[in-house]
Every structure is written in structure tokens, then in C-alpha cells.
Amino acid sequence: MDYELSDAEQALYDRVCAFADEVVAPAAYRYDLERRLPMEIIAQMGELGLFGLPFPEEVGGQGGSYFDLCLAVEALGRADQSIGVTLEAGVGLGIMPIYRFGTDTQRAEHLPDLVAGRALAGFGLTEAGAGSDAGATQTTAVLDGDEWVINGSKQFITNSGTPITKLVTVTAVTGEETRADGSVRKELSTIIVPNGTPGFEVGPDYDKVGWHTSDTHPLTFTDVRVPAANLVGERGRGYANFLGVLDEGRIAFAALATGAAQGCLEEAVRYAKERVVFGREIGANQHIAFKIARMQARVHQARLAWHDAARKLDAGRPFKLEASLAKMVSGEAAMENARDATQVFGGYGFMNENAVARHYRDSKILEIGEGTTEVQLMIIARELGLAA
């Protein structure tokens, strides 16, 4: 497999890196303090076409690939993970379910604003007792005439409470189904709930350890009524559909983590060349140079992993194993690089205005979100034929 970027891909990456350095990075500390998603930056991302990168032109997209999306996510993640995950979740979790499984009517109604970045959407999967175990979902949707009546709650939902949030696609139990062996399991379906629907309440933003700029809320549904036509995909296919969405999303999440690891590397290299102690640059000390060399090795490994997974996705080849490998490797790389970069900076790395301090706080979630490291290990083991 060729891991070189094409000229167009390199131009895209360079363009988004420049945007991240010139627009995102200078504002990152201020918005982190304010704990507010900068809508003016999101609007500029929309104008750059970032939300439409992997979608065809006939739905308003840029006609690019999923690989293109991941390049943009990585470039943004170097400067600010919160901005990077807004794009990653906005496309992978917000738009993809409707694009992949929605009806023509649903696509015509929602995709133009979403792919242009004029609107955002969330994906309501996680519950208090149903994260990795989505089969434990308690939210229900009962068909009453030509309407679904939804009751339940979701938590940790990204892009669910912004000023431009248009909808949330939620997973809900819509009945029971009997397997071939006679056992009974919950029938899960996915349903669009537009913002502002009576009974749909968006709770206060979470007080998070990191990702302070990212929009994340709990959701509650109390006798929420939406048209039966808001069903996304076939009834009972919600479980299979969201597994496919998550497999794809893990690749973009890995790109985000790679960007974080790259950002820490760049900061550490710069500081090691500038900081003079006892008459010499600290980068001239072997223990600092070796620490940074290991950071470079982690970035390289993480980038190769997500490149491999994304190329296979775009080629229509199986990529489940590669997506989990990329997610696990890159999340660990981001966390380890954040720790090492903070050590290189010493006391300055403990100051919140420093980018590496923000990466240190932000990176832990990269080992948790969109499937924990332990879940990835389980998937990898199963793909190897082990009963993990």
C-alpha cells in the first residue's frame, strides 16, 4: 500500500494546517477558558467545505473521500482537539447515519445545511447504563399511529446543544425480536429527533476534564412525538447501522488522536531548541532528545495505522480490524506524547495557557471515546478468532 499523499491530499492537509495555525490556535486558550464552542470558527470551517469533504457534490459535498475528512481532522487536532472533534463527530456521527441509511426525503431535508456546516447534528447512543454495551439501551420508542413516542435519556452527546444544532439521531428500543436459537433480544432502531421538539430537553453542558470547547450535553426525552417517517433505515436495523457508523468513526477519531500526538511533538521540538539551561539547548541533552524521538515514533505509527484503515474503507475493503487498531494505537500515542511533552516543558507545561497542558487534559478521552481501549482490544482479539 502506498502511504504517500497525492498532491491534492497534501494541499488539503497543508490548507487545513494553515487554518488551524492562523485561526484556531490563537483563539484556543480563550475559548477553553470560556468553555464555549466558537461558532465563528465553525462557520469558517463550513465555508472551507470541511463538513462536506467525504460527500458527493449532488448532496452539496466536496466530492472527496473519507481519507480527506481524516486529513482535515488530524490537521485541526494538532491545534485544538475540541475543534477537531466537532468536525469528526459532526460528520461521522451527525451526518453519516442520515447519508448512509436515510431516505431520499430525509437526505433532501437535512443534508444541505449539514454538509455546508450551517447546521450540526448529534448521535444519541450512550446512556448511563448503555455505553459499550449498547444492547442495554433503555430509551424506548413506541409507534402510536403515524408517530413515534420516545421516552428515555442519553448522555455525553457531542454537538447536541449548539446554536446551530438541527437534530439528534437517537437509538431506541422499538420492540423485541426472536433469534434463530429462540432467544429474545431488544429490537433497536434509530430515529431523527429535531431540535425544539416538545418533550426533548438538552441538559446543561458537562464540566469536563478536557475538551472544554466541545459541545457535550445530556438529553432527556419525555413523551417526545416525531413522525413515523423519522425512522432512519429499517426498523430493527439500528444496532447494525450504528456499529457500521462507529467503525468508520473510529478511523476519524484515530486521525484526531494522531493530530494531538503531532501537535505535542511539534511543541516539544520547538521548545527543546529554544530553552537554554546551563548554557545549552535542552534538546542537546540525550534524555530529552530520546524522549522526543519516541514521540516521533508514536506519531508515525499512529498515522500509518489510520492511513491504512481509511484507504481500505475508501476502497470498499474490510476495515473493522484496522479501525480498532488505529483507534487503540493513536489514542495511546496521544496520551503518551502529551505526558512527555509536558515533561519537556517542565513547569511551563503545567500552565493552562500552554498548548501541551491543554493536550494533556484533552488526550485522556481519546482512550475512552468512540470505544474504549479495552473494547478495541476485544474487537481485535475477536477478529483474530479468539473468544475474548
Give the residue numbers marked as catalytic: 370
Residue 165 CA, chain-centre distance (Å), reads 16
* Residue pair 251/309 in contact by the 8 Å Cβ criterion: yes
Q: Give the helix/strand (H/E) hosting 194.
A: strand 184-194
Alpha helix segments (H runs only) across the chain: 7-19, 25-34, 39-47, 66-79, 81-89, 96-101, 104-115, 238-274, 286-314, 320-345, 355-362, 373-383
DSSP 122-138: EEE--BTTBSS-GGG--
Work out the burial of residue 361: count CB atoms within 10 Å of its CB; fewer than 13 is exposed, 13-18 middle, 19 or more buried: middle
Distance, in Å, from the CA atom of 362 to the CA atom of 114, rounded to the nearest integer, reads 26
**SS3 state at 347:** helix
